[in-house]
Amino acid sequence: MLRSLVGSEMCIRDRDKKVMLHEVHQERKLLEKQHNEFIESKMQTLSEIQSERMLIMKERTEAAMTREKFNKDEAGLLVALRQKEEEYQCRLDAIAADRDVAQELRREAQQLRDDACSERDHVRGERATLEAAREEVLLRVEDVRRRAEDAVGDQQRLRKELAAERASSVTNQLRGGSQQYGSGGGMNQFSQLQSELAKQRAALSRLNENL
């Protein structure tokens, strides 16, 4: 009886042990499955993270290249703008210089006009003076001519009187000698008038040349 109880108890223990072993085995398999799934999920996550990292690195590289290109383009644009600014400044300086030259030319032109006006007024004054001198010389010439004509008339009259007196008596000849002295004075006066007339004509000729 005792043996059968002991045997029965041992059988129960063996059966419980087997059940427990089976349960432990099942739990181990479940744990291994979960571990494998975790490892697989972890590897997939790591792969995704690596892909994301690669993508981020690629995007960063592209962004760096884009930034570098943008910086180069910006630097080129700044250089071009600086060149344009220098070119415009040169043009402005040239325009300012041309404006100064134009103002100087206008001042010179105004000065030339003023000088021309002054010279014209001076020439007009000189011309008026020369005209007045010419008129005076013409009057003198006319006076000399009139006096010369009068002297010629006197000379002819004296010649006639001298011829008449030469035909008269000795007393009349002596009187005619005195008149010859007077006629010689008339000849001298006529010569002086001719000389003065020549001088006045020369002065008139010079005035006409100046006019």
More confident residue, 150 or 50: 50
pLDDT of residue 205: 67
pTM of the full predicted structure?
A: 0.36
Q: What tokens appear for 146 in the block?
A: 């009139």
- Distance from C-alpha of 54 to C-alpha of 60, rounded to nearest angstrom: 10
Task: Render pLDDT for 33-85 as a digit per residue (tens, 0 to 9).
Answer: 888 888 888 888 888 888 888 999 998 898 888 888 888 888 888 888 899 88
Instruction: Please count the residues of the chain.
Output: 211
Residue 167, token pair as written in the block:
């035909």
Q: Is the pLDDT of residue 185 over 80?
A: no
pLDDT at 34: 87
Per the model's pLDDT, the better-predicted residue between 19 and 94 turns out to be: 94
CB-CB contact of 172 with 163 (8 Å) = no
Residue 186: count of CB within 10 angstroms of its CB: 17
